[in-house]
Chain A
Amino acid sequence: MKFGIVVNEGPYTHQASDSAYNFVKAALATGHEVSRVFFYHDGVNVGTRLSIPPQDDRQIQEQWSALAKEHELDLVICIAAAQRRGLLDRNEADRQGKDANNIAEGFRISGLGQLIEMGIQADRTITFGD
């Protein structure tokens, strides 16, 4: 089955991104396909490479980046939600005249259309939120 995944809550405050991560890992391990993971609302904060969680805690962003690399996952951060919350890639930082970017490896910033397209193309769309 082809899954589309939505993550609507930020890391650490909520368990949503952990649950989504575990679901994606389990789905891939059992031969399913994950066409895209779309990060919305505070979920976009999963994609910052500047978070420094305590060493004895899970490294949520690094987990996602590693999983994306291993399985060529498409991790999409919503641009509208990202701009509100200060998540930028190099292009966006340049375009908006900002002096830094913070997007982590394996993530890309794109529009809400990617969420709808995922819903159209996936067999099942699953939301992880509050």
Chain B
Amino acid sequence: MSKVKKFLYVNRKAPYGTIYAQEALEVVLIGAAFDQDVSLAFLDDGVFQLTKGQDTKEAGLKNFSPTFRALGDYEVTKLYVEQESLDERGLTLDDLQDIQYEDEDDDYAEKPSIIVVSRAGMADVMADQDVVLSF
């Protein structure tokens, strides 16, 4: 087994309108089986993917947003959200789903998966990765 690599999945597109977000999530779920160090980044319209209360019924599309809350079960626990992208779209952390994971190193305490970072901070997150897959 080669060394664990740091994978970052960058989500830049709105959840509906194009298939990028949905197919990116499919990669994340498959990738979780490979025991790598996985993070997700949400920036630009990608921050809309995490909003709560999504209802796609009238559009005839599958609402895949509940899957984000299950990512903790796949040991995907780092969801970096860019502050400026939220600000530019009039969103705050309160508009996003409450996504948590159970920290097995801390008696399975529930902890938030979403980490809000500045644009400069997001650049640092990206620079720290081995593999960046952009969607």
The answer to whether A and B assemble together is yes
Nearest CB of B to A69, in Å: 28
Chain B interface size, as a band, is 10 to 19
Indicate which residue in B19, B34, B134 contacts A117 across the interface (CB closer than 8 Å). B34
Write the residues of chain A forming the contact surface with B, with a CB cutoff of 8 angstroms: 6, 8, 40-41, 80-81, 84, 111-113, 115-117, 119-121, 125, 127, 129
> Assuming A40-B23, A41-B23, A80-B26, is B31 touching A116 (CB within 8 A)?
yes
Q: Which 9 A-B pairs have the closest CB atoms?
A: A119-B131, A112-B30, A116-B31, A116-B34, A125-B131, A127-B134, A112-B27, A120-B5, A41-B23
CA distance A125 to B5 in the complex (A): 12
Check if B133 is an interface residue, CB within 8 A of chain A: yes
What residue of chain B has the Cβ atom nearest to residue A122's Cβ? B131
CA distance A102 to B70 in the complex (A): 36
Nearest CB of A to B48, in Å: 17
5 A-B pairs whose Cβ atoms sit less than 8 Å apart in the complex:
A41-B20, A112-B26, A119-B36, A120-B36, A125-B133
Check if B132 is an interface residue, CB within 8 A of chain A: yes
